[in-house]
Amino acid sequence: MIVSPLTLKKRWQKVEVIRLFNESDTARRIGAAYSEAYIPRRSLVRIIAEVAALAAYAKPNKPLQRTEARVARPGR
């Protein structure tokens, strides 16, 4: 699910954006969660920007899983 102008859902609430990120594979992989305690003090735009930055710049705790099969190299 992606937050973009083309999604069917046109109105996002702060808590929905935070929960979408916290339940994502990305959040689990990087070992990060955005606290719901910040909801009253932050605007929706700021929450989206902070969640995006967290996802983009965080270092993963676990390596990414390979999605392609390894190709055997011919012997030398």
pLDDT digits over 15-60, tens only?
998 998 999 888 888 888 888 887 889 999 999 899 888 888 776 6
Model confidence over 3-17: pLDDT tens digits?
666 556 678 889 998
Residues 6+ apart with CB under 8 A from 7: 1
CA atoms within 13 A on the CB side of 20: 13
| Residue whose structure tokens are 């339940």 | 23
Q: How confident is the model at residue 68 (pLDDT cuts 50, 70, 90)?
A: low
